[in-house]
Amino acid sequence: MELRNVKWSMDSFWEVREGVLGQWETGRDADLERAAAYQRQIPLDKRFAPALMRAKAAGITLAQPRAGVATVEGQIELLLHLQDVGGADLLPVTIDSYTRQNRYRECIVGLEESKKTGRSLLNGFPAVNHGVAGCRELFEQVGLPLQARHGTPDARLLSEIVLAAGWTSNEGGGISYNIPYAKNVSLERSILDWQYCDRLVGLYEEMGIRINREPFGPLTGTLVPPSMSNAVMILEGLLAAEQGVKSLTLGYGQGGQLLQDVAAVRALEEQAEAYFHAFGYADIEITTVFHQWMGGFPQDEAQAFGVVCLGAQAAALAGATKVIVKTPHEAAGVPTKEANAQGILATQQTLRMLQGQRLAMSPALQAEIDLIKAETKCLLDKVEALGEGDWAIGAVRAFQAGVLDVPFAPSRHNAGKMLPARDNAGAIRYLEFGNLPFTQEIQDHNRALLEDRARFEGRTVSFQMVIDDIYAVSKGTLVGRPEKVISYRKA
66 is in an annotated binding site: yes
The least CB distance from residue 127 to ligand 8ZB, in Å, is: 12
Considering only residues 320 through 339, tell me which ones interact with ligand 8ZB, judged by CB under 6 A. 326, 330, 334-335
User: Cα(177)–Cα(194) distance, rounded to whole angstroms?
Assistant: 9
4 is in an annotated binding site: no
Whether 422 is catalytic: no
The least CB distance from residue 50 to ligand 8ZB, in Å, is: 26
326 is in an annotated binding site: yes
> Is residue 65 within 8 Å of 86, Cβ to Cβ?
yes
Which positions ≥6 away from 303 have C-beta within 8 Å? 476
The least CB distance from residue 70 to ligand 8ZB, in Å, is: 9
**Interface region with ligand 8ZB, contact rule CB under 6 A, candidates 60-68, 109-117, 390-398, 435-443:** 60-68
Nearer to ligand 8ZB, 87 or 402 (CB): 87
| Segments of 172-278 assigned E as strands | 212-214, 247-253
> Is residue 168 within 8 Å of 47, Cβ to Cβ?
yes
Q: Considering the rule CB under 6 A, would residue 68 count as an interface residue with ligand 8ZB?
A: yes
> Is residue 199 within 8 Å of 239, Cβ to Cβ?
no
The least CB distance from residue 224 to ligand 8ZB, in Å, is: 13
Q: Considering the rule CB under 6 A, would residue 394 count as an interface residue with ligand 8ZB?
A: no
130 is in an annotated binding site: no
Nearer to ligand 8ZB, 124 or 134 (CB): 124
Query: What one-character-per-residue DSSP string does 69-121 give?
Result: -SSHHHHHHHHHHHHHTS--SSEEEEPPHHHHTT-HHHHHHHHHHHHHHSS--
Q: Give me the phi and psi of 141, to 5 degrees please.
A: -85, -15
Nearer to ligand 8ZB, 29 or 330 (CB): 330
382 is in an annotated binding site: no
181 is in an annotated binding site: yes
Give the gyration radius of the chain's Cα atoms: 22
The least CB distance from residue 293 to ligand 8ZB, in Å, is: 9
Nearer to ligand 8ZB, 94 or 313 (CB): 94
Nearer to ligand 8ZB, 94 or 129 (CB): 94
- Sole binder of ligand 8ZB in the list 67, 219, 380, 473 (CB under 6 A): 67
On the CB side of 71, how many CA atoms lie within 13 Å of its CA? 15
Q: Which run of H or E residues covers position 429? A: strand 428-432
User: Which of 47, 160, 171, 210 is the catalytic position?
Assistant: 171
Q: How many CB atoms lie within 10 A of CB 452?
A: 14
Q: Considering the rule CB under 6 A, would residue 124 count as an interface residue with ligand 8ZB?
A: yes
Q: How many CB atoms lie within 10 A of CB 314?
A: 29
Whether 100 is catalytic: yes
Q: Enumerate the β-bridge partners of residue 393.
A: none
> Is residue 218 within 8 Å of 252, Cβ to Cβ?
yes
123 is in an annotated binding site: yes
**Interface region with ligand 8ZB, contact rule CB under 6 A, candidates 62-70, 132-140, 222-230, 271-279:** 62-70
> Is residue 295 within 8 Å of 221, Cβ to Cβ?
yes
User: Cα(318)–Cα(253) distance, rounded to whole angstroms?
Assistant: 12
Considering only residues 267 through 326, tell me which ones interact with ligand 8ZB, judged by CB under 6 A. 326
**CA-based nearest residue to 183, from 216, 220, 158:** 220
149 is in an annotated binding site: yes
**Interface region with ligand 8ZB, contact rule CB under 6 A, candidates 2-10, 66-74, 306-314, 413-421:** 66-74
Q: What is the DSSP letter of 218?
A: T
For the chain, how are helix, strand and coil distributed in percent, rounded to 5?
55, 10, 40
180 is in an annotated binding site: yes
The least CB distance from residue 110 to ligand 8ZB, in Å, is: 12
Q: Give me the phi and psi of 385, to 5 degrees please.
A: -65, -45
Q: Give me the phi and psi of 474, to 5 degrees please.
A: -65, -20
Q: Considering the rule CB under 6 A, would residue 446 count as an interface residue with ligand 8ZB?
A: no
User: Which of 17, 47, 100, 481 is the catalytic position?
Assistant: 100
Nearer to ligand 8ZB, 327 or 348 (CB): 327
Considering only residues 85 through 114, tell me which ones interact with ligand 8ZB, judged by CB under 6 A. 94
Nearer to ligand 8ZB, 276 or 293 (CB): 293
The least CB distance from residue 292 to ligand 8ZB, in Å, is: 9
User: Cα(65)–Cα(245) distance, rounded to whole angstroms?
Assistant: 24
- Output the known binding site for adenosylcob(III)alamin: 68, 123, 180, 297, 326, 330
Q: Which residues bind ligand 8ZB (CB under 6 A)?
A: 66-68, 94, 123-124, 326, 330, 334-335
Residues labelled as active-site residues: 100, 171
- Output the known binding site: 66, 68, 100, 123, 149-150, 171, 177, 180-181, 297, 326, 330
- Output the known binding site for L-glutamate: 66, 100, 149-150, 171, 177, 181
